[in-house]
Amino acid sequence: MSPLCYTLKTMLAIILSGGKQYSVREGEELGLEKLKAAVGEKVSLPVLALVDEKAETIQLGYPYLDVKLEAEVMAQGKSSKVMIQKFKSKVRYRRLRGHRQNLTKVKISSVK
């Protein structure tokens, strides 16, 4: 096994999904904004950077690295409800709204 393959297994990857950046490791589960993929399907996500655990080596992409991160879709669902409340004093203005964001739960399977 080459040293590069060994270090990739212990690396932290910075990925981009839904306009947000996430730091992930192999085997982690996380909730991303909704992806158009069925449950059980594999998706590949773009990698912005790779950092080893001791932060000795850092690989940055411009804008992405050639490394592919594969994730398996575990579930499609919604997040918990966030309540939005607006209020203006002395004018009897009150608004209460709720919002639930669509999410996709994925499990990071490999970094290649």
Average pLDDT over residues 80-103: 96
Q: State the Cα–Cα distance between residues 5 and 7, nearest whole angstrom.
A: 6
Domain locations along the chain: 3-111
Least Cα distance to 74 among 30, 44, 110, 36 occurs for 30
Banded pLDDT at 9 (limits 50, 70, 90): low
pLDDT at res. 8: 47
On the question of pLDDT at 10 being above 70, the answer is no
Convert the pLDDT of each residue in 25-73 to its tens digit.
888 999 999 999 999 999 999 999 888 877 678 888 888 888 888 999 9
Least Cα distance to 16 among 42, 38, 49 occurs for 49
Q: Is 71 helix (H, G, I), strand (E, B) or coil?
A: strand
Convert the pLDDT of each residue in 93-107 to its tens digit.
999 999 999 999 999
Q: State the Cα–Cα distance between residues 22 and 83, nearest whole angstrom.
A: 24
Given a contact cutoff of 8 angstroms between Cβ atoms, the answer to whether 14 and 20 are in contact is: no
User: What separation in angstroms does the CA of 84 have from each of 19, 68, 78, 79?
Assistant: 22, 38, 17, 15
